[in-house]
Amino acid sequence: MKISTSGTTIDQQKKDAVILFFQGEKPLIDKTLSELITLCSELIKSSSFKGQSGQTAVFPLAGQIAAKRLILAGVGEAKYFDNGILEKAAGAAIRAGRDAGATTFAMPSGLPIDGMDDGLYRLLAGRGAVWGSYDFSTFKSDSRKTKPLSLTFAGKFTSKISITYATEQGAALLDTADLANLPGNEAPPEKIASWARIMAKQHGMTCQVLGKAELTKKGCGGILSVAQGSAQDARMVILRHKGTDPKARPIVLVGKTVTFDSGGISLKPGKGMGWMRYDKCGGMAVLAAMQMIARMNVKTPVVGILGAAENMPGSNATRPGDIIKAYNGKTIEVLNTDAEGRLVLADALGLAADLKPRAIVDLATLTGAVIVALGSAASAVLGNDETLVSDLIAAGNNAGERLWQLPLYKEYSDDMKSDFADISNICKSSSAGTATAAAFLQEFVPEDIPWAHIDIAGTAWLESAKPHQAPGATLFGARLLAQWIESLNA
């Protein structure tokens, strides 16, 4: 999608459709455009549009303004408003308009909402519009080539950097979505690695890939134990964005990239198992964030590490009760082979720590328990550094990706003790599944490195269509990571 700007007001835009946001029945339109406001209220009278979050209405016009159609997009009541709602409303408007045949769109350049910065509004609305235009059609034989869409922000501008960011971030998201939505047979670890190599080259990053031999040599017993039941070998993928200061310590982003999680010998039930192709979404969010960071030329050096493996119950698979050794030398008793994400992350976090980073943030579809706790309304964040956790929560609020902190009490670490090894991969009490998983990860991060873990099991994909998105990967986490790392420049 091409995003551009225009100095003239929204009513002057000769487009297929003009998009206007509504907070309930209150139009979020500059007061000086009184005729447009009157037109909207007349159109709404004869419709069921209530301005609820996600609701849209498309009205064909007959010359009242320069555009052919008016699309109203609801962001719901003010008291429930957040930036994610706005971003999704923009996506929903584009999808509704596209379905009605529109290809050229305009939106106002600012939004009269208290506390909403115009630049941030354009980033959210622009990025949401790009995301709304996406469909995963790689395997649809009858997929029609849809016409490219365009979006113009109309009105006054102080700075246009937000337009560049929306364009670059949107492009990174769409590029990565085509990989993230691939099924297990089409996206084995080797494919993830070759995709990352090409992407890194295109965007001026370096990419190092550790295969089975190197992982064995380094003693990465965690990721190897997950992959050993599969015909597909593991890969550890390491992407580097240099930044501008060669002396600065890097931020390291780590992503669980389990290309398919059958559970291994601790096999999952059949119902819904197909969704476990999305168990790579931590890594997909890291890939998208790395591409965004490279496209925005952020100053901070950033390293992205993807632990890519397939969890299968082959004849060489890890058995419950097996004891393995992770990269940092700690031994792990694998009592449940379905708790495999933490084994992959144990090695990846150990490698991350070697880089003497400023901070480590890992993302993973790690536990079903986080869905019990938070559903899909937020991802859980846990960590060893309160400043890092609160910075991530703030970035999430700005970027429209909600995080909710869970505690990391010592009780959770105690619950992970093993009778036969340094640590077990499941907790004894079988309670607090998300926090005990994080307590396990903490064992692989040196105490003096600020570290946070984000559990995206409830937010990484949609199982049914929403107004702003078809079923599939959401790439949750990429937007907040880009927001956070870009803000470190300030």
Mind telling me the catalytic residues? 268, 342
Note whether 333 binds ligand BES by CB under 6 A.
no
Instruction: Work out how close the CB of 454 gets to Zn ion at its nearest, in angstroms, rounded to a whole number.
Output: 15
CA angle 92, 367, 406 (to 5 degrees): 85
Note whether 310 binds Zn ion by CB under 5 A.
no
Kindly write down the DSSP assignment for every residue of 160-212, as one continuous string.
-HHHHHHHHHHHHHHHHHHHHT--TTT--HHHHHHHHHHHHHHTT-EEEEE-H
CB nearer to ligand BES: pick between 79 and 271:
271
Q: Which of 272, 305, 280 is nearest to 187 (CA)?
A: 280
To the nearest 5 percent, what fractions of the chain are helix, strand and coil?
35, 20, 40
CB nearer to ligand BES: pick between 385 and 422:
422
Judged by CB under 5 A, the stretch of 2-10, 180-188, 275-283, 477-485 that binds Zn ion is 275-283
Note whether 236 binds ligand BES by CB under 6 A.
no
Q: Which of Zn ion, ligand BES, none is residue 369 near (CB under 5 to 8 Å by kind)? A: ligand BES
Structure token pair of residue 234: 């593991």
In the chain, the amino acid numbered 212 is: K
Note whether 300 binds ligand BES by CB under 6 A.
no
Judged by CB under 6 A, the stretch of 7-15, 20-28, 231-239, 331-339 that binds ligand BES is 331-339
CB nearer to Zn ion: pick between 118 and 261:
261
Instruction: Work out how close the CB of 485 gets to Zn ion at its nearest, in angstroms, rounded to a whole number.
Output: 26
How far apart are the C-alpha atoms of 389 and 322, rounded to whole Å? 34
Note whether 415 binds ligand BES by CB under 6 A.
no
What distances in angstroms separate CA 247 from CA 238, 250, 361, one per listed residue?
19, 9, 20
Note whether 132 binds ligand BES by CB under 6 A.
no
Question: Hey, which residues between 331 and 360 contact Zn ion (CB under 5 A)?
Answer: 338, 340-341
Note whether 415 binds Zn ion by CB under 5 A.
no
One residue of 36, 215, 296, 457 binding ligand BES per CB under 6 A? 457
Judged by CB under 5 A, the stretch of 58-66, 127-135, 259-267, 327-335 that binds Zn ion is 259-267
Note whether 321 binds ligand BES by CB under 6 A.
no
Secondary structure (3-state) at 217 = helix
Residue 364, CB-side half-sphere exposure with 13 Å CA sphere: 31
Report the interhelical angle of 478-487 vs 386-399 (nearest 10°).
110
CB nearer to Zn ion: pick between 268 and 299:
268
Q: Which of 195, 199, 197 is nearest to 186 (CA)?
A: 195
CB 415 within 8 A of CB 428: yes
Pattern of binders to ligand BES over 371-410, x per CB under 6 A?
Answer: ----------------------------------------
One residue of 297, 336, 376, 418 binding ligand BES per CB under 6 A? 336
Instruction: Work out how close the CB of 371 gets to ligand BES at its nearest, in angstroms, rounded to a whole number.
Output: 6
Note whether 279 binds Zn ion by CB under 5 A.
yes
What b/e string do you get for 46-69 counting C-beta neighbours within 10 Å, with b at 16 or more? eeebebebbbbbbbeeeeebbbbb
Note whether 279 binds ligand BES by CB under 6 A.
yes
How far apart are the C-alpha atoms of 380 and 395, rounded to whole Å? 14
Note whether 104 binds ligand BES by CB under 6 A.
no
Instruction: Work out how close the CB of 188 gets to Zn ion at its nearest, in angstroms, rounded to a whole number.
Output: 16
């090894």: which residue's tokens?
Answer: 421
Q: Which of ligand BES, Zn ion, none is residue 367 near (CB under 5 to 8 Å by kind)? A: ligand BES
Instruction: Work out how close the CB of 342 gets to Zn ion at its nearest, in angstroms, rounded to a whole number.
Output: 9
Three-class SS of 399-465? HCCCEEECCCCHHHHHCCCCCCCCEECCCCCCCCHHHHHHHHHHCCCCCCCCEEEEECCCCCEECCC
> E-strand spans in 87-174?
104-108, 150-154
Judged by CB under 6 A, the stretch of 117-125, 140-148, 160-168, 359-367 that binds ligand BES is 359-367
How far apart are the C-alpha atoms of 417 and 421, rounded to whole Å? 8
Residue 488, CB-side half-sphere exposure with 13 Å CA sphere: 24
Instruction: Work out how close the CB of 169 gets to ligand BES at its nearest, in angstroms, rounded to a whole number.
Output: 25
How far apart are the C-alpha atoms of 425 and 428, rounded to whole Å? 10
Note whether 433 binds ligand BES by CB under 6 A.
yes
| φ, ψ (nearest 5 deg) of residue 41 | -65, -30
Instruction: Work out how close the CB of 368 gets to ligand BES at its nearest, in angstroms, rounded to a whole number.
Output: 3
CB nearer to ligand BES: pick between 368 and 407:
368
Note whether 11 binds Zn ion by CB under 5 A.
no
Note whether 184 binds ligand BES by CB under 6 A.
no
One residue of 91, 119, 126, 341 binding ligand BES per CB under 6 A? 341
How far apart are the C-alpha atoms of 442 and 438, rounded to whole Å? 6
Note whether 338 binds ligand BES by CB under 6 A.
yes
CB nearer to ligand BES: pick between 205 and 369:
369
One residue of 233, 261, 310, 415 binding Zn ion per CB under 5 A? 261
Enumerate binding residues for Zn ion (CB under 5 A): 258, 261, 279, 338, 340-341
Q: Which residues bind ligand BES (CB under 6 A)?
A: 261, 279, 336, 338-341, 365-369, 426, 433, 457
